[in-house]
């Protein structure tokens, strides 16, 4: 019998959708989440309630940074794959709550790596972020780019995860793959993300906050495309690159079983164009409050996904119009039923 996939952050947006996809395909999942109150826990509990309807789902509620509980669990289960999606998210939140990031993104990740080592997990897949590209303005962003200039603590913590993972891949031969997600959105999304915030404000007749006076471009990536990318990558453990050159090192790979992939739509959209699509979908015009750029933000993101396509034969392709339509339909249904 195939051992279950372990998914951390299973009450979160991406974790929930990944778990639901696996469970719907008849796979078994052990999900972990502390269910913190960074945003409304009722949404997280609603996700868990849906997952709980599957017989092959087991939920463990604990903080990954707390001692060796994860190591004990993974040794018990013996998973072939662990998908680590738990993290303290949000760029702006990191400006006022830095300790949350050192705890959840650094201490917890160290425990994840130790658990992977002790349980001899076949493949550790973990969430990185497009935010690691920081001050880089060479578009589109490539995994081979040097990412040494983050502009937020959140971004720095994700870069640190990549470095920590490489150390464990090098020292212990653990296959690790980091996934740099680009502006994920869709049904069951995070309430702190722009699309969610804008939808809520427009329907309430409130102004939306448009930073940098709308001069922003984002590589919006639909959640189903993200999940597809995660699962395809998870099924193909990282391997050493025999051509990796330590004299001219490529950050995207290594002589160790280590890999990095962008997962983005590859078609950046102006923020004001996204708002226009949302207005059309809602049938309402937004009252826009134009504001300057916020600390920690970047003006544009754009993913080069050629490496992902070459490795697993996949690239995200859901249009923003389709994705926003699906999100608004879910939002109306979910909140109208409350």
Residues marked active site are found at: 154
- Which segments within 163-247 are labelled E, that is strand? 176-181, 184-185, 208-211, 217-218, 221-222
**Phi, psi dihedrals of residue 23, rounded to the nearest 5°:** -65, -40
Rounded CA-CA distance 102/28 in Å is 31
Cα separations (Å) of 323 from 61, 107, 198? 31, 35, 15
Find out whether 93 and 100 touch, Cβ atoms under 8 Å.
yes
Cα gap 285→78, rounded to integer Å: 53
């Amino acid at each position: 019998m195939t051992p279950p996939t372990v998914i951390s952050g299973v009450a979160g947006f991406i974790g929930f959708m990944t778990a639901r996809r696996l469970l719907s395909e008849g796979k078994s999942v052990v999900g972990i989440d502390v269910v913190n109150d960074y945003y409304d826990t009722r949404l997280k509990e609603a996700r868990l309630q849906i997952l709980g309807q599957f017989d092959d789902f087991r939920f463990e509620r604990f903080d990954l940074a707390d001692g060796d509980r994860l190591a004990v669990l993974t040794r018990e289960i013996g998973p072939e794959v662990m998908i680590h999606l738990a993290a303290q998210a949000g760029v702006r939140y990191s400006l006022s709550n830095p300790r949350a990031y050192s705890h959840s993104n650094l201490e917890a990740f160290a425990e994840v790596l130790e658990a992977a080592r002790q349980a001899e997990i076949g493949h550790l897949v973990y969430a990185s972020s497009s935010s690691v590209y920081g001050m880089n303005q060479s578009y589109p962003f490539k995994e081979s780019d040097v990412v040494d200039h983050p502009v937020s603590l959140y971004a720095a913590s994700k870069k640190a995860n990549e470095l920590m993972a490489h150390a464990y891949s090098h020292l212990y031969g653990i296959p690790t793959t980091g996934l740099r997600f680009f502006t994920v959105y869709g049904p069951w999304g995070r309430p702190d993300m722009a699309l969610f915030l804008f939808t809520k404000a427009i329907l309430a007749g409130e102004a939306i906050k448009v930073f940098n006076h709308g001069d922003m471009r984002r590589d919006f990536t639909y959640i189903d495309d993200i999940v597809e990318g995660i699962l395809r990558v998870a099924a193909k453990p990282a391997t050493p690159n025999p051509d990796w050159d330590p004299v001219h090192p490529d950050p995207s790979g290594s002589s160790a079983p280590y890999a990095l992939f962008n997962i983005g739509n590859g078609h950046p959209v102006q923020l004001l164009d996204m708002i226009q699509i949302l207005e059309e979908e809602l049938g309402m015009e937004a009252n826009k409050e134009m504001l300057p750029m916020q600390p920690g933000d970047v003006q544009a993101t754009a993913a080069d996904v050629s490496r992902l396509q070459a490795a697993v034969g996949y690239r995200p392709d859901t249009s923003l119009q389709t994705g926003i339509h699906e999100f608004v339909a879910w939002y109306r249904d979910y909140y109208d039923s409350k």
